[in-house]
Amino acid sequence: MLKLNEILDEKDKRLKCVSKEVKFPLTEKDINIINNSIEYLTNSQLEENLENEKFRPGMGLAAIQLGIPKRYFVIVEELPTGEHDPQKFKNYIVVNPKVVSHSEEMIYAELGEGCLSVNREVPGIVPRHARITIEGFNELGEPIKIRAREELSIAFQHEIDHLNGILFFERIDKTDPFNGENTMRSI
C-alpha cells in the first residue's frame, strides 16, 4: 500500500515539471500506482481512519506526486448516502486529459484547497471554474468524457494543474489573498 512519505512534498522540484503525454498500454507500474492511489485515497476518506496518522485525507493524486512525470491522475469522490449507510465512493482514472469547455462562473473552496503534497494550511482564494468538461482516456485507453461541477470540478482543475507543474497556492493572489471573495461564489 502507498505510504504518506512516498508522496512528494511541495519543496520537491519534480512537482514543477510539466508531465508528458502517456502512450498506451499503460505499464504495470502505472497500473499499480493507479490502484494504490485509489486504495490510499479511499482509506484516507473513511470515517474510521480520520484519527489514523497513516492517512491525511485527500480526494485526488496525480502521478507526478509519486515522482512519475506522466499525464494521469485519480480522483476518489465520496458520494452522498443516508446517515447510517456505509460510505460510498466513485473513482475517476483520467489519462491525457483535456479541458474541452468550462463555465464562465468562478467558484472557490470556502475552507481552502488541500493537497497531499502541501502539509500546511494556505489561506486565500483559489479561483476555479464552477463547471468543466474534460475529455481523456481511462486506464485501458478508451476515450472518456466527464462533466464535473462544484467540488468535483475544483478537484479536476487541481489535478490538471499538477500535470502542468502548478500547485494550488500559486493561484492565490499574492498581494491580496482574499481577492475575489465578494465576486465569486464559495462552496
By CB under 5 A, name the binding residues for Zn ion.
115
For residue 153, the minimal CB distance to Zn ion (Å) is 15
3-state secondary structure 12-64: CHHHHCCCECCCCCCCHHHHHHHHHHHHHHHHHHCHHHCCCCCCCCCCEEEHH
Q: Which three cell numbers stand for residue 175?
A: 498581494
Residue whose Cβ sits closest to Zn ion:
115
Shorter beta-carbon distance to Zn ion: residue 149 or 171? 171
Q: Is 181 a catalytic residue?
A: no
Shorter beta-carbon distance to Zn ion: residue 25 or 129? 129
Could you tell me the sign of the dihedral formed by the alpha carbons of 137, 138, 141, 146, in that order?
A: negative
Single-letter amino acid, residue 187: I
Shorter beta-carbon distance to Zn ion: residue 65 or 88? 65
For residue 66, the minimal CB distance to Zn ion (Å) is 12
For every residue of 117-130, DSSP letters joined together read: TB-S---S---EES
For residue 57, the minimal CB distance to Zn ion (Å) is 12
Q: Which three cell numbers stand for residue 6?
A: 512516498
Q: Which of 77, 142, 159, 170 is catalytic?
A: 159
Shorter beta-carbon distance to Zn ion: residue 22 or 115? 115
Distances (CA, A) of 137 to 31, 124, 141, 160, 165: 14, 33, 5, 14, 20
For residue 168, the minimal CB distance to Zn ion (Å) is 6
CB atoms closer than 10 angstroms to residue 172: 20
Instruction: Please identify every residue annotated as catalytic.
Output: 159
